[in-house]
Amino acid sequence: MNNNQPLFYEEYGEVSSPPLIILHGFFASARNWRQIAKKLAEYHHIYILDMRNHGQSPHNSLMDYPTMAEDIVQFLKSKEIRRANIIGHSMGGKVAMYLALNNPDIINKLIVADISPTSYQHSFDEIIQALKSIPLAEINNRKQADDFLSGAIPELSFRQFLLQNLVLNEGHYQWRINLDFFAANADNIIAFPAINSFNPYLDKVLFLGGGNSKYIKEDDVYSLFPNADIQKIENAGH
């Protein structure tokens, strides 16, 4: 069975410029990277992708790093891009790392933002349950949805980020994402495929971490990306 998904994308910059693919994180979408893409478009031909089950891309019950990486391979083929520069943040960074480890020839330069090839221990269960608990049939505006979320998720900016997935359709609010698919695949997103199946990626990779974030695990990075350059952005989070 072919599980590859044709991905929605936004495009910026001149076609003659070097291609740069931007891969977003879990619960995000291409729109979160628009402002950065517009700035980088001076130097690159930018494609920001909506990963499967995110944004305007199709939904699929399977969401793990091998299948998402293969989505990128097929996207590059569809655009006749033989080698690309890639920026991946969080989940998108894991997709990019998996791609580099399995298809190194299609990577030109790689930047991984605030993530490492690590199976983390946190859980998305509370976030997903909080989103599911919003009574969509009863709310009339986004402020009401935000109020419902505020008890479980106190950080306003994070609530606003999550609520970008709430859309108004014919007068009724609904989720753009399939929360059941997110719940079923959350463990795949937290994990990283077993490292003993990979040869290290020997080219240089820039790992950019937030100074206030603890997502980059240096030992895990260097075990698979021995020529990594790990840099921190002070006072930045995830």
Q: How far apart are CA 206 and CA 200, in angstroms?
A: 15
CA nearest to 46, candidates 89, 79, 95, 3: 79
Q: Is 59 tagged catalytic?
A: no
Per DSSP, what are the bridge partners of residue 110? 86
Residues with Cβ within 8 Å of 55's Cβ and at least 6 positions away in sequence, in order, are 8, 29, 30, 31, 176
* Dihedral (Cα; 80, 86, 90, 95), 10-degree rounding: 40
| HSE-CB for 209 with a 13 A CA cutoff | 17
Residues with Cβ within 8 Å of 157's Cβ and at least 6 positions away in sequence, in order, are none
Set 125, 147, 180, 203: catalytic member = 180
Both tokens assigned to 147: 């109020």
Q: Is 90 tagged catalytic?
A: yes
Q: How far apart are CA 87 and CA 89, in angstroms?
A: 7
Per DSSP, what are the bridge partners of residue 9? 49
Q: Is 180 tagged catalytic?
A: yes
Set 24, 45, 71, 90: catalytic member = 90
Residues taking part in catalysis? 90, 180, 238
